Amino acid sequence: MDEGKRKKITAVPASSGLAWVVQSLELLRAQASRLLFIALLMQIILGLVQVPLLGILVVLSIPGLSAGILEAFHVAGKGARPGMHLLFLPLASGNRRGRLFALGALIFAIGIVCISLFIGNTMSGVDEAQLMRLQQGDMEVLYEIDPLFITRLMTAFMLSVAIGGTITFFAIPLIWFRNGRLWSSIGEGMRALIANWKSMLVLGGVLTVVFLPVSMLTGLLLQVSAAGGVASYITTLLMMVLLLMFQLLLFGTQYCAFRQIFPFEEPRQEVDPSSGDDSQLVA
């Protein structure tokens, strides 16, 4: 597609927010195991963020990995079976790879700015050892750190996630599926969000309602896993699957929203649904 053309934005009714959730669940039901394995692979890669130097590369690659999951949903929507290689397809695709890395750098910079603004004056009460333990996932250190620091840290994290999620919601699929330039994709994405604010509001409300029982069940599983023994391993596995399925639901609604608001104008190459080779599906 010509990068200079302005993407056609479709204004959809508010009820579309609920429809996107339903469509996402249908795609998940059709290819639940394959999509779950792709999401699990992504989480394993994100776990490398703790490794020095490599962690920065992992952070920058998040938009590219997200585009890979969106491509998996696109393949599933065509009735084909998404392969694991789709997760890495955007990161191996020429100039779009650079734009996705640039988008990751932008989101990383936004996170640094948010953290600097909120916790800059409270760092004096936290030593380097405590920060290292917190980075490694040691939750016990939370009881040793000033509650004000934790509050500001969580506020900065939620603000950066909100800003980053808003910017990338349509920017990632526009770069990947439409070969859009970075800044034009961000601009068109923001314009689409504003034009469809009612449906986005409904989508947020529905996802919040879905998240409530998920969070309650996760808390219950955490309590069971604390008891130790074989039951702790089983509950941990169930909790991981539950959270991965909710994450996939979010990606599915993102893809369904993009598919309706930015209709595909050019047919993409079809594959035999019974075939396990998805290499022909290149966005």
Interior angle at CA 46, CA 254 and CA 113, nearest 5: 75
| Collapsed DSSP state (helix, strand, coil) of residue 181 | coil
Say what the pLDDT of residue 21 is: 96
pLDDT at 118: 76
Give helix 147-178 / helix 230-261 axis angle, nearest 10°: 50
Tokens of 181: 């330039």
CA–CA separation, 281 vs 277, rounded Å?
Answer: 9
- DSSP character for 79? T
Residue 223: the pLDDT is 77
Token representation of residue 145: 């750190």
Contact 55, 48 (CB under 8 A): yes
Measured in whole angstroms, how far is the alpha carbon of residue 272 from the centre of its chain?
28
209, 187 Cβ separation under 8 angstroms: no
Full pLDDT tens readout for the chain, 283 residues: 444 455 678 899 999 999 999 999 999 999 999 999 999 999 999 988 878 788 889 999 999 999 999 999 999 999 999 999 999 999 998 889 999 999 999 999 999 898 888 776 655 556 666 666 666 555 566 666 667 777 877 888 899 999 999 999 999 999 999 999 999 999 999 999 999 999 999 999 999 999 999 888 888 877 777 666 667 778 888 888 899 999 999 999 999 999 999 987 644 444 443 444 443 333 3
Q: What pLDDT digit, counting tens, does each position of 30-59 carry?
A: 999 999 999 999 999 998 887 878 888 999
Task: Note the pLDDT of residue 233.
Answer: 78
Per-residue model confidence (pLDDT) at position 162: 93
Cα dist from 99 to 55, 76, 258, whole Å: 19, 25, 19
CB 41 within 8 A of CB 83: no
pLDDT tens-digit profile of 101-150? 999 999 999 998 988 887 766 555 566 666 666 665 555 666 666 677 77
In the prediction, which pLDDT does 272 show? 44
Q: How many CB atoms lie within 10 A of CB 70?
A: 23
Q: CA torsion, points 262, 263, 265, 268, in degrees to nearest 10? A: 110
| Token pair for 280 | 């022909």
Cα–Cα distance between 155 and 149 in angstroms, integer? 10
pLDDT at 141 (0 to 100): 61
Residue position matching structure tokens 């792709």: 38
Q: Give the containing element (helix H, strand E) for 229.
A: none
Angle at 93 between CA 88 and CA 98, to 5 degrees: 100
